[in-house]
Structure 1
Amino acid sequence: MDIALMSMALSQGQIQQQASMSVMKMAIGNAELQGEAIQKLIGTADATAIQNAAQPHLGGNIDLKI
Structure 2
Amino acid sequence: VEGKTVKAQIWDTAGQERYRAITSAYYRGAVGALMVYDITKRQTFDNVQRWLRELRDHADSNI
- The TM-score with structure 1 as length reference comes to 0.28
Select the structure that is richer in helix. 1
